[in-house]
Amino acid sequence: MAKNSLYPPSPADIPPDFTAPTSEYRMQTFLVLFALALFFMVYFGVMFFCVAYSVWAAWFLLFARMQVGVLRLVPMFFVLPAFVLFIYLLKNLFKFERAQKEFRIEIFPDEHPKLFEFIEKVCEETGATPPKHVFIDYEVNAAAILDTTSFFHLFMPARRSLLIGLGLLNAINLTEFKALLGHEFGHFSQKGTKIGSYIYTSWRIAYHVIDGEDGFDRFIYG
Regarding predicted confidence, which is higher, 108 or 72?
108
**Angle between helix 194-211 and helix 23-63 axes, rounded to 10 deg:** 40
Percent of the chain with pLDDT over 90: 25
Q: How far is C-alpha 176 from the geometric centre of its chain's CA atoms?
A: 28
Bridge partners of residue 143, in order along the sequence: 163
Regarding predicted confidence, which is higher, 53 or 147?
53
Residue 60, pLDDT score: 78
- What value does the mean pLDDT take over residues 52-63? 83
Alpha carbons 48 and 36: distance in angstroms, whole number:
18
Confidence grade of residue 89 (pLDDT, cut at 50, 70, 90): confident
Regarding predicted confidence, which is higher, 131 or 93?
131
Q: How far is C-alpha 20 from the geometric centre of its chain's CA atoms?
A: 24
Nearest in space to 93 (alpha carbons), one of 44, 35, 32: 44
- What value does the mean pLDDT take over residues 54-65? 78
Alpha carbons 154 and 79: distance in angstroms, whole number:
30
Regarding predicted confidence, which is higher, 187 or 148?
187
Q: Which of 62-66, 134-138, 216-220 has the highest mean pLDDT?
A: 134-138
Regarding predicted confidence, which is higher, 144 or 117?
117
Mean pLDDT of the chain: 80
Residue 155, pLDDT score: 66
Regarding predicted confidence, which is higher, 94 or 156?
94
| Statement: residue 136 has pLDDT above 90 | yes
Phi, psi of 130 (to 5 degrees): -55, 145
What pTM does this model have? 0.65
